[in-house]
Structure 1
């Protein structure tokens, strides 16, 4: 057991706030299939904030807990039967999957049947808070990278000893564990966007930038990016965005109108990385018929998407005077 420091999340004192403190913790010796990692860097994801700003018991969330799921570090000790790394190897950390359920066995570990419990909630047993002996919920996403040292599940570890040239480079790659790979996967896998697609990306954090760069690599016909921070939009243009929409501008039209001014049919692929309900719904309205809306951002817990079911049915070209309801009434009366 070693003593280290960690950011400990306790139950928020007020709704939608966070209660994080730096505390001394004791880290247990890694068990079978586990690895002790000394962190060099970690990203902070919106998911970390959302899942520490709700009352205990919400969706199984418990406190105190140690968050963090974009870790990068060095292997310091091995548990039994660990085969993928050796002490001293640089590693990047990502989500946990069980490796045995149907989605895992069919090469879709992100849809693991125990994903929510193992990643969003985690487990007790990896650490102890020094001042009072509490066992926090750790092994969040298999890693809890908001600690200087953490016991990590081997399945969450990617050995990068043959790819990383320095510790500075290792630190830069930490967001690959969630943000960048999530944005990339939305383009490559979920939407399979390509040269015929008009792609719209809502939000330009690490996830949105990852989606943008991948859409550029895939040579998508147009890449529309949406954010309220002008500096992000300018950076996005340097990375390959063809059109920008600043939602922080009071006179900016809604997304549907803004997109259809340039692309009358709308966007064929819309990727939301924000979790903001109004943007999600406007993104849906801006999606063309047979288009794809990919939801990545974490909205407020309990949010329900308001869907106009008729929107993507082929009725938009009807003459306004055409009495569709009358025709249907006659049809059903026969």
Structure 2
């Protein structure tokens, strides 16, 4: 499956089996082919999706190298690469074909090949780019990158060039989690000035959405969570109201704050009962974006007549519903202008601390871990 000549030595965090700790191992990676780029990974964000795949909510084959919020510097390019060059600084985002109807209409997050390209554990032909020193294949191509590694392969279309004066070690989470929250607000919900918005869940995705709602001009911005420190940070970032749902009925509180119901909502917890609360808290013609990912097959219940008579809208949102080649540089620019301070959500960990980062993320101690792979 993997070419055994001209391979490069790397260090990668391998997920060997369901629920296992990440294990740093020496592996080998092949050179870039076709429209691929080889990226020296500087840092990689840790996302909730890395953890639910480790725990096999999604059936990605193991052992595998995960990681899908990589940032780094291009070291080599394939013969079909057109616009990127060695030395470019890039953020790696999700994989998409670039040819289907959705890709051609500016909606690559809904690519017809999305699941296979991001969760297949290999390329679409079943080939891996990674192997161990015995030349046994290791599953990869996770989100078209597998960036819990010192080197990663990406296609040109999901390697997004960013300015060299931007802090590269910080930017990886723009490829997924931060992009998801901000994009759900800006691209999908299209939050309007002087409107009301609620983030149901004040993790990294929810707080990224909160920052975006502020940029959009929402004037009533509510954060709901059960962790007091997260609610305090939400206030620091621009929330006008916070609700601890352990202490208050969130639906009642939201309706009181908004005098009847909120205009826009985002559900990022992946819990069906929280989704129902969000739908119940919407005002007339309100919209809720669903970005939280529960196990496959999870269902939710809500009052159909409440939805019908209120003209409410529920929308599923993948990766912020934007075109990353356009949207990620826009987020970088907003950060550099001081309008999108997502750096307040992150904590850095050395590569050897990857399991501590995962534990801190699961416990809610750290909102967005970033794993420093190399300088």
Are 1:283 and 2:293 counterparts?
A: no
- Normalised to the residue count of structure 2, the TM-score between the two structures is 0.76
Task: Return the match for 2:54 from 40, 52, 76.
Answer: 52
Are 1:202 and 2:205 counterparts?
A: no
Distance 1:84 1:176 in 2: 21
CA contact (8 A) 1:254 1:282 kept: no
1:5 is matched with 11
1:79 is matched with 78
2:257 is matched with 262
1:216 is matched with 214
1:286-297 map, 5 Å: 286-297=281-292
CA contact (8 A) 1:5 1:23 kept: yes
1:301 is matched with 296
1:94 is matched with 93
Distance 2:250 2:244 in 1: 10
CA drift of 1:185 comes to: 1.0
CA drift of 1:176 comes to: 0.7
Give unmatched runs, 5+ long, in structure 2: 1-6, 311-375
CA contact (8 A) 1:139 1:153 kept: no
1:137 is matched with 139
2:154 is matched with 152
Distance 1:118 1:53 in 2: 20
Q: Alpha-carbon deviations, 1:146-189, whole Å to 9, x = none?
A: 111111111110112xx2316xx111111111111111111111
Distance 1:10 1:311 in 2: 46
Distance 1:313 1:152 in 2: 44
1:126 is matched with 129
Q: Alpha-carbon deviations, 1:208-227, whole Å to 9, x = none?
A: 22211111011113110112
CA contact (8 A) 2:52 2:58 kept: no
Instruction: Please state whether the residue corresponding to 2:297 is helix, strand or coil.
Output: coil
CA contact (8 A) 2:70 2:92 kept: yes
CA drift of 1:206 comes to: 2.4
Give unmatched runs, 5+ long, in structure 1: 316-334
Instruction: Please state whether the residue corresponding to 2:135 is helix, strand or coil.
Output: coil
Distance 1:204 1:121 in 2: 30
Are 1:271 and 2:266 counterparts?
A: yes
- Normalised to the residue count of structure 1, the TM-score between the two structures is 0.85
Are 1:237 and 2:240 counterparts?
A: no
CA contact (8 A) 2:100 2:112 kept: yes
1:20 is matched with 22
**Deviating more after overlay: 18-27 vs 89-98:** 18-27
Higher relative contact order (CA 8 A, sep 6+): 2
Distance 2:16 2:250 in 1: 38
Q: Alpha-carbon deviations, 1:32-61, whole Å to 9, x = none?
A: 11111110000011011111212xxx7552
Are 1:31 and 2:33 counterparts?
A: yes
